[in-house]
Amino acid sequence: MEFRITHRSKDCRARTGEIELPSGDFETPVFMPVGTKGSVKAVSPEDLGEAGVRIILANTYHLYLRPGHRIIGRLGGLHRFMNWSGPILTDSGGFQVYSLTPLRTISEKGVTFQSHIDGSRHFIGPEEAIDIQETLGADIIMAFDECVPYPSDYDYVRRSVELTTSWARRSLDRKRRSDQALFGIVQGGMYADLRETSARELVKMAFDGYALGGLSVGEDRATRLRVISETVDFLPQDKPVYLMGVGTPEDLIEAVILGVDMFDCVMPTRNARNGTLFTTTGKMSIRNATYAEDGRPVDENCDCYTCSNYSRAYLRHLFMAREILSYRLNTIHNLSYYSRLMADLRTAVQEDRLFEYCTKFYGLQEKGIG
């Protein structure tokens, strides 16, 4: 992997860059849609490309359980399996294991857990997580980590940071493939000193990039932004910074200002399936009766496939009738919105007018849906 910074903001820590990977290149800041089980829900790879998507995320835990990483490996790897030729990032499975609180046991070796599918017992440690991800064949893979719940007491989080640091070192030692980039994950809960400790220890190991994990787990926005700002201070400026699982448009903008380069979140796709669409002037609930006879596109400033061909009235009809096409058209629009948001942010950073852009963005959002 090669990461080049193309411009640094004169006013804040925002920057633009380019990442080169075996499966393709993309510009940063970038948003990655979540394809948990090897598919971004409701859309095809062709839809993703037309929506401006350049890299997607897939989930190690889910693909390990079903259909199984070895099957995917025998069939040529994840790119071929899902017919996506662009870059893929796989997470380590740590967050999903964290979510299985009643079904898992954590030790220094790793995590023993029960499958949420059939109750079968499994073990994943740092070595297993790397082996699985190498078999899947993603361009960027993640070190195994523990995501602590919020809130957690200081002593528990301190021990967790020690464990995550040990697991990161073992993940790095296990890695064999030279064509995959490996990112370390900074943990530490909401404690500034533990975040600093985690970041400093990971930087000593010289990962290809660094992720901020353990956020968007129930903390308020001000706390989250504080943790991001404090943590980025301790990360190398020549490596990409990835904020995991955080994804409102406002969150993305604020994190870009703080120096974050990469994002993933289920928000645009999940909201689409629930009938919530992102627009230049705010969020739209397409189920609202006011759109029943509205012949306008969702967003007059959007040229995506959905906005170019369908009215609000039709999209409302599809959603209320529970037609499957509703999921696809809504998802295409939301992903196009996120792609355009990131492109606009990149341009604003490059032209040193990021704060001017932010003022305009928030002004339009306050205006509301017309």
Token match 């993703």: residue? 48
Beta bridge partners, 283, equal 278
199: number of Cβ within 10 Å:
24
Which has the closest alpha carbon to 357: 368, 370, 367, 347? 347
> Are 56 and 147 in the same domain?
yes
> Are 216 and 329 in the same domain?
no
The predicted model gives 221-228 an average pLDDT of 98
The contacts found for 156-161 with CB under 8 angstroms, 24 or more apart, are 157/187, 157/188, 157/189, 157/191, 157/194, 158/191, 158/194, 160/187, 160/189, 161/187, 161/188, 161/194, 161/197, 161/198
Given 231, 265, 299, the domain boundary residue is 265
> Are 162 and 304 in the same domain?
no
Tally of domains within the chain: 2
For the entire predicted model, the pTM comes to 0.97
Range of the domain at 25: 2-265
> Are 87 and 137 in the same domain?
yes
> Are 261 and 276 in the same domain?
no
Q: Is the predicted pLDDT of residue 280 greater than 80, yes or no?
A: yes
CA distance 159 to 164: 9
> Are 242 and 316 in the same domain?
no
- Determine the pLDDT at residue 20: 99
Two structure tokens written together for 122: 């499994």
Q: Which residues are catalytic?
A: 91, 264
Given 201, 233, 265, the domain boundary residue is 265
Which positions ≥6 away from 226 have C-beta within 8 Å?
192
Q: Is the predicted pLDDT of residue 51 greater than 90, yes or no?
A: yes
Answer yes or no: are the C-beta atoms of 61 and 132 closer than 8 Å.
no
Given 202, 233, 265, the domain boundary residue is 265
Two structure tokens written together for 169: 């070192």
pLDDT digits (tens, 9 = 90+) for 250-277: 999 999 999 999 999 999 999 999 999 9
Q: Is the predicted pLDDT of residue 243 greater than 90, yes or no?
A: yes
> Are 8 and 35 in the same domain?
yes
> Are 339 and 356 in the same domain?
yes
The predicted model gives 221-234 an average pLDDT of 98
Mean pLDDT of the chain: 97
> Are 172 and 29 in the same domain?
yes
> Are 151 and 255 in the same domain?
yes
Which has the closest alpha carbon to 123: 144, 137, 109, 134? 109
> Are 249 and 287 in the same domain?
no
Among the residues of the chain, which ranges form H helices? 45-50, 60-65, 69-74, 78-82, 94-99, 126-136, 154-174, 192-204, 221-232, 249-257, 267-273, 305-309, 312-320, 324-350, 354-367
Specify the CATH number for the domain of residue 158.
Answer: 3.20.20.105
pLDDT digits (tens, 9 = 90+) for 68-127: 999 999 999 999 999 999 999 999 987 777 677 777 899 999 999 999 899 999 999 999
- Determine the pLDDT at residue 158: 99
- Determine the pLDDT at residue 256: 99
Answer yes or no: are the C-beta atoms of 315 and 329 closer than 8 Å.
yes
> Are 231 and 276 in the same domain?
no
